Amino acid sequence: MDRYKITFARLQKEKRIGFCPFAVLGDPTPQQCLARIKKYLDVKPDFLELGIPFSDPIADGPIIQAADERALKNGMTPKKAIALVRKIRSVMVRQAHHDVPIGILTYSNIVFQYGIEKFYRDLKNAGADSILIADIPLEEVALFAQAAKKYKLHQIFLVSEYTDVKRLKQIEKFGSGFLYVVSVLGVTGIRQKLPPQLHKLIAHLKKHTKLPLVVGFGISQPQHLKQLKTAGANAAIVGSALVKTPTKNLSKILKRLSCAAPKP
Amino acid sequence: MKKVGYYYAPFGRVFGGMFVSELLVKPLQEVNAAFEDFKRNKKMQKELNVLLKDYVGRPTPLYEAKNLSKKFGYRLFLKREDLIHGGAHKTNNTVGQGLLAKFMGKKELIAETGAGQHGFAVALVGALLKIPVKIFMGAKDVERQRMNVMRMKLCGAEIISVKSGSQTLKDAINEALRYYVANSKTSYYLFGTVAGPHPFPAIVRYFQKIIGEETRRQIREKIGRLPDKILACVGGGSNAIGIFSAFLRDQQVKLIGVEAANGASLQKGKIGSLHGSLSYVLQDKNGQILESESIAAGLDYPGVGPEHSALKEIGRVKYVSITDREALEAFHLLCEEEGIIPALESAHAIAYAKKLTGKLRKNAAVIVNLSGRGDKDLETVYGSI
């Protein structure tokens, strides 16, 4: 079952933009992280993105980095993180969120030390659907893409205004599931306004690829989701804005964000 | 995709590469292309050579330290990189890359710094070439290297104190990389050592290899042959690559890299990816990067340049380590015996030279790359007494 295919097809039929909340696995503890994910599930998100923490997350801004540090301080390891993914998947099955894909975000050294094949295999078995390694560009992806193919996980790539058509075609050879469109050249974080040229970037990408476009970095407000829908994006990832919100205050912001991507 | 920027070692081991976010690939490719043009550009080469001679103060002397030679029982030579403008070998690289940035039309230089030597070397080049400078420095290093912070400020650099993570060089690099992702169109990231993603290891090597080229010529003039051993301290490893590079093919010249005992990536680390390249890295079993610790801020780094990893694997360079205490003893020894105050980083190489006492024949020739001077370390040294 390809949960991405199912979900994107449904979104297209319902003519809406998908909502994808993000959390760092084990932030600040496995139990509290699970409580956070349950809050996310309350608003019936279309996707989940989960980060496996790394000590030196260079693609992330201060909010996600602090979350990584909290999780690591409390003993989170890749093995425990994958166990937590399994638990989250079982909660989702119980609550009948069968089609919600789980995407994993991490950094290359985590995967190297765990063992590339083993990492992909264990994630697949735990119920994950895709993996994005923030510091693996096309040039270094061969071994990872092989493992992704073998264990039927989607290898996700970042694309930006720097990704020209030639590169996009190469990315399509190794990547599947969706493209993670970086809204702005920079790191993850909260931004008040979407950059004006983002519309153009999305239009340009749509012309040259059939892969769904999921936009991330800086997305933090309901109006961002509305704007992204107008621009033609298929889904939006909200990370830092949620990660910095304490679990007890999550309901309000989650409701506002998910209302911007209303279900019929 | 074609693999770029790798250093190969036996058994399929590879080091280096480009482990960065997709957002950095294009900027790094542009730097690489400009670097290739720069190397072929006669006007730029001429400008570089004039600056190296008249501004930096090259060539630096190769000095036979006779008092220490008597003590150690062999002929000890010091390559005096401590004498160049800025006080350390770092200026060779920053003058070169500063010109490259100018060649590319960049409007700002950014850099990380640990000891502050590289930061200062970037600051002075920024002033010279009239390009504004931003220096990312761990908050801990800002504290312990106050003198260099002042020197950077005097040359007009803006210091960004990095308070995340270990608050040392590792996190300064993280922060500089983050800034670079967002500003690569206008900023040039002037990387300070032979680590980081391709093409930085190749660029820094290119601008530091002058140390080895001069040394090779000078030692031949002095003793009529190549030396028996060359010693250099290794943090990221740029001064060592600089002097080793001219002797890699001369198997009879033993090359020794000296790491700080608690920053010894090559001896205590495992292969992993940090700051854009595959190399030996101090890390736990899950791949989380560990914090190094050394009295010498310039050796206080959990990673090392990928070429060093390859040189270790092929057995061409032997890597050893020296403790803080041994380095301090060597620091005092050089002051007292030769009237030269070495940087604590370079004192690690002197300390290993001392360990060779009585182990070599009398006319054996050993060169220590004295990579920097110790004025910046006086507070640390007096604080440790």
Q: How far apart are CA A103 and CA A153, in angstroms?
A: 9
The pLDDT of residue B22 is 94
The pLDDT of residue A264 is 67
Decide if A60 is catalytic: yes
Per-residue pLDDT tens digits for B20-78 = 999 999 999 999 999 999 999 999 999 999 999 999 999 999 999 999 999 999 999 99
Q: Give me the catalytic one of A2, A14, A42, A49.
A: A49
Q: How far apart are CA B323 and CA B264, in angstroms?
A: 10
Residues A15-21, mean pLDDT to the nearest whole number: 97
Sheet holding B14-16, edge to edge: B6-8, B14-16, B277-281, B270-274
Class of domain A3-256: alpha beta
Chain B residues whose CB is inside 8 A of the A183 CB are: none
Give DSSP secondary structure letters for B206-235: HHHHHHHHHHHHHHHHHHSS--SEEEEE-S
Return all residues near B19 (Cβ < 8 A) that are at least 6 apart. A108, A135, A136, A140, B197, B273, B276, B277, B278
Q: How far apart are CA B75 and CA B71, in angstroms?
A: 10
Q: Does A166 touch chain B (CB under 8 A)?
A: no
- Structure tokens of B222? 């002095």
Q: Give me the catalytic one of A46, A60, A122, A129.
A: A60
Q: How far apart are CA B160 and CA B175, in angstroms?
A: 9
Closest CA to B17 of A96, A90, A229, A143: A143
Closest CA to A209 of A255, A243, A176: A176
Q: Does A119 touch chain B (CB under 8 A)?
A: no
Contact criterion met (CB < 8 Å) for B1 and A138: yes
- Show me where the domains of chain B are located: 3-49+90-200, 57-88+209-383
What end-to-end distance do the CA atoms of chain B give, in Å?
55
Helix (H) / strand (E) containing B80: strand B75-80
Q: Which of A24, A25, A54, A58 to mutate to test the interface with B (most CBs of B within 10 A)?
A: A58
The pLDDT of residue B385 is 54
Q: How far apart are CA B285 and CA B283, in angstroms?
A: 7
The pLDDT of residue A168 is 97
Q: Does A139 touch chain B (CB under 8 A)?
A: yes
pLDDT at A263 over 80: no
Residues A65-73, mean pLDDT to the nearest whole number: 97
Q: Does B186 touch chain A (CB under 8 A)?
A: no
Ramachandran sector of residue A107 (left: φ over 0; alpha: ψ -120 to 50; beta: rest): beta
Return all residues near A136 (Cβ < 8 A) that are at least 6 apart. A108, A144, B19
The pLDDT of residue B5 is 87
Strands B277-281 and B270-274: antiparallel
CATH classification for the domain delimited by B57-88+209-383, as one of 3.40.50.1820, 3.30.2230.10, 3.40.50.1100, 3.40.640.10:
3.40.50.1100
Q: Does A187 touch chain B (CB under 8 A)?
A: yes
Contact criterion met (CB < 8 Å) for B181 and A185: yes
| Percentage of residues in chain A having pLDDT higher than 90 | 92
Per-residue pLDDT tens digits for A127-145 = 999 999 999 999 999 999 9
The CATH code of the domain at B3-49+90-200 is: 3.40.50.1100
Residues A79-101, mean pLDDT to the nearest whole number: 95
CA distances from A260 to A220, A248, B328 (A): 11, 21, 63
Give the Cβ contact number of residue A186 at 10 Å: 20
The pLDDT of residue B4 is 79
pLDDT at A28 over 90: yes
pLDDT at A1 over 90: no
Q: At what angle do helices A116-126 and A142-150 cross, to 10 degrees?
A: 40
Please state the separation of Cα B353 from the chain's center in Å: 19
Which residues of chain B carry a pLDDT beneath 50?
A: none
